[in-house]
Amino acid sequence: KRESSKFNIFWTPAFAGVTWFVTFYGTIRIRSNEKPIAGTYRSVEYLRRFFLGLVVIFAIIALAAIFYINQYEQTPRLEKRAASLSKGKIQPSRKAPSRSEPNKDAERITPTEGSQKPIPPSTLDGIKIAIIIDDVGYDLRPVHDLIELDAPISVAILPHCAHSVEAAEKLHRAGREILLHLPMEPLSYPQKDPGKGGLFVSMSDSEIRRRFEENIRAVPHASGINNHMGSRFMKDEAKLRVVLTEARKKGLFFIDSRTTHDSQARLIALKMGLPFKSRDVFIDNRRSYRDTMRQLTHVPRGTKESNGLLMIGHPYPETLAALRDAIPLLKDRGAQIVPASVLLKTVTEGHRPDFHNTDPVQIPGEDHLSSRK
């Protein structure tokens, strides 16, 4: 209808003008071929004025008609749109937030269409995937987000933080598996401090046991442990043995976050029969929704044969958004999301070589270091 209205507006006056020109020009040509007689030019002048007046009147009538039609066509369209909005058929357009206004959807990052390659269902059928979220305890907002996820995500809580105990209680009531995220000395200490409750290679065995006990009490309901930082401590077999021995006495399992290639945890766990598992993939080496989504949906070769994949991430908004979108996708394609304890290995079951990140990137903070050798 709009196109036909534009046609009327532009072409009706043009058609009228062409009609007048042809008529007037033809009349002049006819008169010019006749012999001049008295009153000839006066008659032509009268004829020209007549046609000019006729064209002006026709143009006014045409424009008035077009305006009238457009006005009465617009009203039904507006009424029809209003009725559709009231029925919910059409969504009203949303004004883009200005720079001075907060974007309420900023934390909810949505995927770019076509950015993720689909995974064939056969590659995920029956595969068990465990996901641990580290560094919880500073803030309760990610705790609520983790509880809302439709999957048994395991959560590693740092001891002695402002919300460590409250976070553990909330997660326990929600049925989530809780780990003590045990601070250990990194190679970069003192530039990088593991935080309160940290274990250091300079400590005596008795001091390590005492601090370990304090850390366990600081995170109630913990059924396992994984290391926070620890690139120096995890290399020291004697000191690490003290920690794993205490963990075994308390019936706890141990997850090696693999912040160093020289970790002794696997060897010690094998010897003492401690339930143990190494991290396979860090899902958020890059703090990016797209990269985290790619890591969550990428299944390394051999996963199906090993019957398990252990991923570790952090409570970033980007990571939580990727988890919300990836979990239904993984489930629909046959994967089983399980607590980390389901993937544990002991000396009687044997161990398998650990996977490596597909595209690891080292960024500040030693609990992000890749496992690629």
Q: Which amino acid is at 180?
A: L
Query: What band does 21 get if pLDDT is binned at 50, 70 and 90?
Result: low
Query: Considering the chain, what percentage of its residues have pLDDT values greater than 70?
Result: 61
What secondary structure letter does DSSP report for 355? Answer: P
Going 229 to 232 to 185 to 350, the CA torsion angle's sign is positive
The more confidently predicted of residues 24 and 108 is 24
- The predicted-structure confidence for 31-46, as pLDDT tens digits, reads as follows 554 444 445 555 666 6
Tell me what the mean pLDDT of segment 152-178 comes to. 98
**pTM > 0.95: yes or no:** no
- Reply yes or no on whether the pLDDT at 315 is more than 50: yes
Task: Specify the range with the lowest mean pLDDT, choosing from 84-88, 180-184, 327-331.
Answer: 84-88
Query: Which tokens sit at 195?
Result: 């935080």
Nearest alpha-carbon partner for 194 in 9, 10, 366:
366
Tell me what the mean pLDDT of segment 363-369 comes to. 42
- Reply yes or no on whether the pLDDT at 156 is more than 60: yes
The more confidently predicted of residues 371 and 26 is 26
Q: Looking at residue 7, what is its pLDDT?
A: 47
Tell me what the mean pLDDT of segment 331-346 comes to. 89
Q: What is the mean pLDDT of the chain?
A: 76
Distance in angstroms (rounded) separating the CA atoms of residues 333 and 119? 8
Distance in angstroms (rounded) separating the CA atoms of residues 246 and 288? 37
Tell me what the mean pLDDT of segment 259-286 comes to. 94
Q: Looking at residue 302, what is its pLDDT?
A: 67
Q: Is the peptide bond before 190 cis (omega within 30 degrees of 0)?
A: yes
Close Cβ partners of 55 (under 8 Å, ≥ 6 residues apart)? 16, 17, 19, 20
- Reply yes or no on whether the pLDDT at 162 is more than 90: yes
Coil, strand or helix at 65:
helix
Distance in angstroms (rounded) separating the CA atoms of residues 258 and 195? 19
Place of tokens 């370990």: 212
Query: Which tokens sit at 26?
Result: 């033809």
